[in-house]
Amino acid sequence: MSMIEARGLSKSFMQAVKEPGLKGAVKHLFVPRHIEKVAVKPLDLRIEAGETVAYVGPNGAGKSTTIKMLTGILMPSSGSVSVNGINPYKRRMENAAQIGAVFGQRTQLWWDIPIAESFSLLKDIYQIPDALYKKNMDLFTDMLGMGEFIHLSARKLSLGQRMRADLAAALLHNPPILYLDEPTIGLDVSVKQKIRGFIRQINQEQKTTVMLTTHDLGDIEDLCKRLVIIDHGAIIYDGTLSEVKARFAKNRVIFFQAGSPMPELLAQLALTPGMKLEEQSALEFSVSFDRYEYTASEVVSRVMRHGEVIDFRMEDTHIEQVIKAVYDGHLDLNGTGE
C-alpha cells in the first residue's frame, strides 16, 4: 500500500460571476450567477513511504487544492484518496494524528503565548508521550536554533523564526507524513538552508514522507528526488528531477576568455552543427553545445588548439530554466524534449 494514493481525484468550485461596480453587486444579490471552475481535473497520484516529492506548477495550477484534499481540509468532487490507509476527509481526527503540515503563510502556533507553551499544548492535543516529547524538543531546539526565541510569543517572532517554530510544531508527534506549502517563502538564504537541512535529516532518519509545494526551485534541488508538475489542474510530468535535467537540460555552455582574437575558429564554430556561438567581444565568447553530441573536453581542446585561452568556465542549464520553459509552453515534457 502506498503512503498516499489518489485515484481520479478532482475538485471543482462554484465561482460567483459579478458584473463590476455597485450595480453588479446588487444585481448579483437578486440574480446570482455562478460558473464551475475545475481547479483539479481527475488525477492519479501514488507516493510511497519515505519519498520526498515536489509538487510544483504555476500560480492557480491546483497545487493548494490538491494538498487541501490530501490533508482532509477539502472534500473532493470526485475520486478517492487514501493517506496511510485513511480517507482524510472522512476520518479527519485520525488523519490529523498522522500528518504534519506547514502552510508558509499561516501559523498553527498560538499568537499570544510563548512558543514553549504552544509546544506543550500540542503535546497534550497529540498525546505525545513524555520521553518522545523531550527527545524531539531537544533535537528540534538544537537543529533549528530555537533556543534564542522559544520564550517569545509567535506574535514577536521574525518570519524565519516563526517558520522554524512551525516546522518543529508540525513534527513534534513524529508524523509519518509531512506536507509543506511554500516552506521557505520570504526567508533569507541562511534560514532556508537551516530549514532544508532539517527536513532532509528528518526524512533520512525517520523516513518521513515529504510532499512540498514551492515556487523556490532551490527547495526542489535540495530536497526532492521526485518532481510532479501540475498545470491547469492536470499532472503534466511525474518523474525524477534528474530525468528532467538529463532529458531537457541537454545544453551546456562554456564561457571563454581568449588571449588574442580567434576569428577563424569562431567562423568554424558558428557553422558546426550542435554548437551555438555567442560573441560578447573579440576576446570573450561562449559556446553552447549539445552534451549528448560533444563532451566538454572536446569543445575546450578545440578552442585551445586555435590560440591562447586565459580562462574558461562551464554552466549547465539550471532546472529553473527547464521548468520555466514548461510553464511557458516551450517544452513538452511528454514529447521529445525539443
Ligand X SMILES: Nc1ncnc2c1ncn2[C@@H]1O[C@H](COP(=O)(O)OP(=O)(O)OP(=O)(O)O)[C@@H](O)[C@H]1O
Q: Of 13, 110, 255, 312, which lies in the binding site for ligand X, with binding defined by CB under 6 A? A: 13
Query: Which residues pair with residue 99 across a beta bridge?
Result: 177
Site for ligand X in 58-77 (CB under 6 A): 59-65
CB of residue 42 vs ligand X: minimum separation in angstroms? 15
Q: Considering the rule CB under 6 A, would residue 15 count as an interface residue with ligand X?
A: yes
Instruction: Compute CA distances 323 → 11, 244, 336, whole Å.
Output: 25, 9, 15
Instruction: Compute CA distances 178 → 171, 220, 255, 329, whole Å.
Output: 8, 15, 42, 31
CB of residue 333 vs ligand X: minimum separation in angstroms? 17
CB of residue 130 vs ligand X: minimum separation in angstroms? 38
CB of residue 169 vs ligand X: minimum separation in angstroms? 22
- What's the length of the chain? 338
- If the CB atoms of residues 64 and 136 are measured against ligand X, the closer one turns out to be 64
Count of residues of this chain found to bind ligand X when the rule CB under 6 A is applied? 12
For 207, residues 6+ apart whose C-beta sits below 8 A from its C-beta are 49, 50, 176
- If the CB atoms of residues 205 and 328 are measured against ligand X, the closer one turns out to be 328
CB of residue 191 vs ligand X: minimum separation in angstroms? 21
Joined together, the cell numbers standing for residue 67 give: 494538498
- The whole-angstrom distance between residue 249's C-alpha and the CA centroid of its chain comes to 19
Joined together, the cell numbers standing for residue 151 give: 520564550
- Sign of the Cα torsion 104, 327, 325, 226 reads positive
For 318, residues 6+ apart whose C-beta sits below 8 A from its C-beta are 217, 249
- If the CB atoms of residues 71 and 118 are measured against ligand X, the closer one turns out to be 71
CB of residue 229 vs ligand X: minimum separation in angstroms? 11
Q: Nearest CA to 51 among 204, 209, 215, 276?
A: 209
DSSP 135-161: HHHHHHHHHTT-TTTTTSBGGG--HHH
- If the CB atoms of residues 128 and 182 are measured against ligand X, the closer one turns out to be 182
- If the CB atoms of residues 39 and 171 are measured against ligand X, the closer one turns out to be 39
- If the CB atoms of residues 61 and 150 are measured against ligand X, the closer one turns out to be 61
What residue has cell string 497545487? 63
- If the CB atoms of residues 39 and 47 are measured against ligand X, the closer one turns out to be 39
Binding span for ligand X by CB under 6 A among 54-62, 75-83, 108-116, 305-313: 54-62
Q: Considering the rule CB under 6 A, would residue 104 count as an interface residue with ligand X?
A: no
CB of residue 51 vs ligand X: minimum separation in angstroms? 20
Q: How are beta strands 52-56 and 209-213 bridged, if at all?
A: parallel
Q: Considering the rule CB under 6 A, would residue 39 count as an interface residue with ligand X?
A: yes
What residue has cell string 510553464? 327
- List interacting residues with ligand X (CB under 6 A): 13, 15, 37, 39, 57, 59-65
